Structure 1
Amino acid sequence: MRKHAVLLIAHQNPDHQLKLINYLGESFDFYIHFNKKCNLSDKEIKAFTDLPNVKLFSQKYKVNWGGVKLTQIIFDLGREAIKNEDYKYIIVLSGQDFPIKTRKDILDFYQENDGQQFLLHYPLPSPWWHNGGLERFNHYHFYDWINGRSTIGLRLINLMVKIQKYMKLNRNIEKKLPPMYGGSCWFSLTADCMKYCTSYFDKQKDLFNQISHTFAPDEMIFHTIIMNSSFAKSVKNDNLFFISWEDGPSPVTLDDSFFPILKSSEKLFARKFINPVSTNLLEKLTALNSKGFEVEQGSFNSGVG
């Protein structure tokens, strides 16, 4: 059975990512980017790089929420992964994700659905996004320079957008790209589809400039490339994630109360898990799925105390 590659994008809690790597085991190789803002110790880095299925560990970029760096990371890690011809699927996960099925269930799923792309998507403009979503891309948003997670930073970014609207400045990106699609940036693509996306992005020299200084281009670029390609016919409109949005525009941090839902869910993964809120839930999920959790303890010792 061919292996799969996981592009793991993290910014905190390295212990959690080590548990994820342990859980999925040697049938999955990992290409990891940790936010450069995160000051990992040499011991923490070594805990990753010593693992036989961690093929790349990088801290190349300082990442701000909403900026273009996340898009660059996915393409960078994807380029590295497709150099290995052995992978069947390229799976993009965040550092706050965790499987909710056994390892065997996950491997069987990808085997049974071979050739399908799992990409949650919708055409733009979309009622799911504020004002249809196009103003995310048609006005300059400086998330790479300004912390949009802070109250002052977000107000400053929004003020700049209001000024652009008042001055009738519009980048008209939708006129420079094929029909646009948006969706989740956590997805599972066949290796051939990832090869196509990276090749397309690299050949379209102006594409990076067009998506720079937009808001969350990672939630648009892969979707637009794929849905305007021959791979569109193989796309399932599902990212294989359980995510709760009951508290608003940000995913809920999952706690014990979600265990019955996750136990019966048909999804493969869930997010988001943040300790200590999610500690007991993670323990319950691991115990539930222990029949598929055959961790090679000798090979996968995290080394973190």
Structure 2
Amino acid sequence: MNKNCILILAHKNHNQIMRLINHLKTDFDLYVHIDKRNKLNIESFDNVNIYKRFKTYHGDVSLVIATLFLIKEAVKNNYDRYVFISGQDIPLKTNKEIIDFFDLNKDKEFTSFKNIKYDKGFYNEMSFRLNSYNFGKLYRLIFHRNIRELISKFPPIKRTTPENIYYGSQWWNLTNDAIKYILDYTKKNPNFLKRFNYTWGSDEFYFQSILLNSKFKDNCVNDCLRYIIWDGGAPFNLKMKDYENIKNNINNNLFARKFDENIDNDIIDKLYKDLEVK
């Protein structure tokens, strides 16, 4: 058994996912959840565990639930490190370089985070996410933001912003002790997970808020180890024109996202070939 595992949430692009899996599985055990709504048909093999348990939706608490499920499956094997990526990530470093990096940072929890209370504008925006009800894409399209905010202020559905909430990337790289703490906290505090029902972007609050309010706070490094270019509120689909910027800004970034084989497969080919010649 490998001492590091990788958890993957996937929902599209069969060939791209299989390429990622086949590249990583030589040195990592993999736990892959595929959106139940998708027609992707991949079976478990070797040290690759494939699940299709939940329908997952962008920004929805279902992503937290699917992630917790993968954690519960993986923690049975007591790994040293749990790396959480999407099916649209591409490694920027070889498997050995990734393993060596975590060997040098055994006690560090790599996850981006920001306490929402120290910036008024940021606090107001995150409070809107936390307190207004998100009933899906159609609900957001029909009702203007101001209407959704107004609806959320009426009792008994009114919600208030929880204390000490942290916001950050959905993707992280955590030790076994931190993973076990998250599971234990979730089990002992079911209302905390329930609080994120109908919250937009729950996956960007849940794990950070547990860890940064725990004994692990001092070990948390504010870096998710990802190269990402943001396009408004979503990661930009990287293309061949972005290649030089990616290569010039690798630093400690172990992965880059996001990529789509149907938009630009050449950049995917190029980055994997770079890994082969190292």
TM-score above 0.5: yes
Q: CA contact under 8 A between 1:118 and 1:240: conserved in structure 2?
A: yes
1:58-73 equivalences under 5 Å are: 58-73=51-66
Aligned length: 274
Q: Match of 2:112? A: 120
Once the 2 structures are TM-superposed, how far is the Cα of residue 92 of structure 1 from its aligned partner? 0.9
Cα separation, 2, equivalents of 1:166 and 1:237: 33
Q: Match of 1:90? A: 82
Q: CA contact under 8 A between 1:139 and 1:214: conserved in structure 2?
A: yes
Judging changes above 3 Å, is the alpha-carbon distance between structure 1 residues 31 and 133 closer, same or farther for their aligned structure 2 residues?
same
- Please say if 1:231 is aligned against 2:216: yes
1:187-207 superposed Cα distances (whole Å, 9 cap, x missing partner): 100111011001101110212
Structure 2 gap segments, 5+ residues each? none
Judging changes above 3 Å, is the alpha-carbon distance between structure 1 residues 127 and 78 closer, same or farther for their aligned structure 2 residues?
farther
1:179-218 equivalences under 5 Å are: 179-218=164-203
Q: CA contact under 8 A between 1:2 and 1:88: conserved in structure 2?
A: no
Q: CA RMSD in A?
A: 2.1
1:16-165 equivalences under 5 Å are: 16-40=16-40, 44-46=41-43, 49-50=44-45, 52-55=46-49, 57-85=50-78, 87-125=79-117, 126=119, 129=122, 131-143=124-136, 148=137, 153-156=140-143, 158=145, 161-165=148-152
Once the 2 structures are TM-superposed, how far is the Cα of residue 26 of structure 1 from its aligned partner? 2.5
Q: Match of 2:256? A: 270
Judging changes above 3 Å, is the alpha-carbon distance between structure 1 residues 156 and 79 closer, same or farther for their aligned structure 2 residues?
same
Q: Match of 1:172? A: 160
Cα separation, 1, equivalents of 2:197 and 2:144: 15
- Secondary structure of the 2:234 match is coil
Cα separation, 2, equivalents of 1:130 and 1:228: 18
Moved more, 257-266 or 221-230: 257-266
Cα separation, 2, equivalents of 1:39 and 1:65: 17
Paired amino acid for 1:229? S
1:149-200 superposed Cα distances (whole Å, 9 cap, x missing partner): x6x75333746523425647631141xxx51101001010011101100110
Structure 1 gap segments, 5+ residues each? 293-305
Paired amino acid for 2:33? H
Judging changes above 3 Å, is the alpha-carbon distance between structure 1 residues 2 and 37 closer, same or farther for their aligned structure 2 residues?
closer
- Secondary structure of the 1:206 match is helix
- Secondary structure of the 1:134 match is helix
Cα separation, 2, equivalents of 1:26 and 1:157: 49
Alignment counterpart, residue 229 of structure 2, candidates 233, 241, 244? 244
Cα separation, 1, equivalents of 2:237 and 2:121: 21
Once the 2 structures are TM-superposed, how far is the Cα of residue 240 of structure 1 from its aligned partner? 0.3
- Secondary structure of the 2:6 match is strand
**Poorly superposed stretches of 4+, deviation over 4 Å:** 126-130
Once the 2 structures are TM-superposed, how far is the Cα of residue 102 of structure 1 from its aligned partner? 1.6
Q: CA contact under 8 A between 2:152 and 2:159: conserved in structure 1?
A: no
Once the 2 structures are TM-superposed, how far is the Cα of residue 290 of structure 1 from its aligned partner? 0.6
1:207-232 superposed Cα distances (whole Å, 9 cap, x missing partner): 22211111111100111100011111
Moved more, 266-275 or 283-292: 283-292
- Secondary structure of the 1:273 match is coil
Cα separation, 1, equivalents of 2:167 and 2:105: 23
Judging changes above 3 Å, is the alpha-carbon distance between structure 1 residues 61 and 242 closer, same or farther for their aligned structure 2 residues?
same
Q: Match of 1:255? A: 239
- Secondary structure of the 1:132 match is helix
Paired amino acid for 1:36? K
